[in-house]
Amino acid sequence: MRRTTTALIALTVFAVTAIFFGQGNSGGGGAAPAIFPRVQPLPFPTEPKTIETIHQKIRVVPFVRGLESPWSIAFLPNGDMLVTEKPGRLRVIRTGTLQPQPVSGTPQVVAEGQGGLLEVLPHPRFAENQWIYLTYAKAGERGNTTALARGKLNGNALTEVKDIFVADAWSVQPVHFSGKLAWSRDGMLFMTVGERFVGRDRAQLLNDHAGKVLRLTQDGAAAPGNPFIGRQDAKPEIYTYGHRNLQGLAIHPDTGALWESEHGPQGGDELNLIQAGKNYGWPVITLGREYTGEVISPQPAREGMEQPVTFWSPSIGLSGMLFYTGDRFPAWKGNLFLGGLAGMYVQRVVFNERGVWGREPIIPDLRQRIRDVRQGPDGLLYLALDAQQGGILRIEPGP
């Protein structure tokens, strides 16, 4: 699953060629311009559509409309769906119906650029404690950063809301917040913080949270056993470093390993297998280029820095991701699904014993910016569509 340097150089030549004939990557929500005009997404679908995929027909159903820039989906034990809207609202969808009033008590967010209300994730024992975790763009004297808040969901209100972690990743630019969350099998909480775009060398600094995967306790403290605990020059919350704009996290259902998807610049979106203490290279090594076309790094590999499991060039603006574990799509069991913002489709990734075996774009003809992909308790897939007049699509087996 790791490439040799020679192979990487060859792939970089391909990547650079693809950059100039394809789309760039401003999938994170609107910072950097593309060299060429983009194809615009289509309006939210109004009717179900049956689509052929490699293994089976699927039916794509408009599930809920009327959401403004939905960012994250989560399910509660009773089947309710929680959805964050980037401007700062937490919404509830119950039995397929969007509840009219947003949940009260959410934190005040920086609703600018790529900032806003980001991830929502219930505690693994939500039925016992009602804890909900939210990441968001937070304002402060030094600009803005990524924060983690926790509160109890009581009816249609969040109570006891408190910031339990505020990243030392301040910037005056409202971009590259990341903010993805995932619970590990040992009850620790993984959280991503982007490198904030300006001063991107921060991703290599261990005394800065920018450009990192963090590992926290359920109360927001540095998790025991983190690789840099005890070092005076390092933040104890850091689990891995050298990342750019981390937009997807998923725990492998069989191995328990953490996987991460990451926006490259112009080209070079990455899928990474996250291992404690490793350096993933940004911006010292990258398969992408500046949005102007200039070279970021002349070398695609360096000793001591991890290579992606696979990469995308042209970029598709990777977003939320999951490993499918349900029974409704038997041919897809164990496959990885990732949203594509700039690419405007869902990417299915198939693995074998050697690594990535193949990739298939799902629903490209619908031309929708896919912000999140989640598996529901019914074994179906749910997609959050990133648009001011956005909503949720459901993918079910076709006729």
252 belongs to the catalytic site: no
DSSP string, 15-75: HHHHHHHS----TTTS-SPPSSPPPPPPPPP-S-EEEE-SS-EEEEEEEEEEESSEEEEEE
Q: Kindly state the tokens that stand for 392.
A: 């949720």
DSSP string, 238-257: EEEE--SEEEEEEE-TTT--
Cα(333)–Cα(168) distance, rounded to whole angstroms? Answer: 39
Q: Report, in this order, helix, strand and coil percent for the chain, each rounded to 5.
A: 10, 40, 50
Helix then strand count (H, E) for the chain reads 2, 25
Q: Which residue among the candidates 123, 176, 243, 263 is catalytic per the annotation? A: 176
Looking only at the bridges linking them, the beta strands covering 381-385 and 390-397 are antiparallel
Cα(297)–Cα(40) distance, rounded to whole angstroms? Answer: 31
The residues that are catalytic are 176
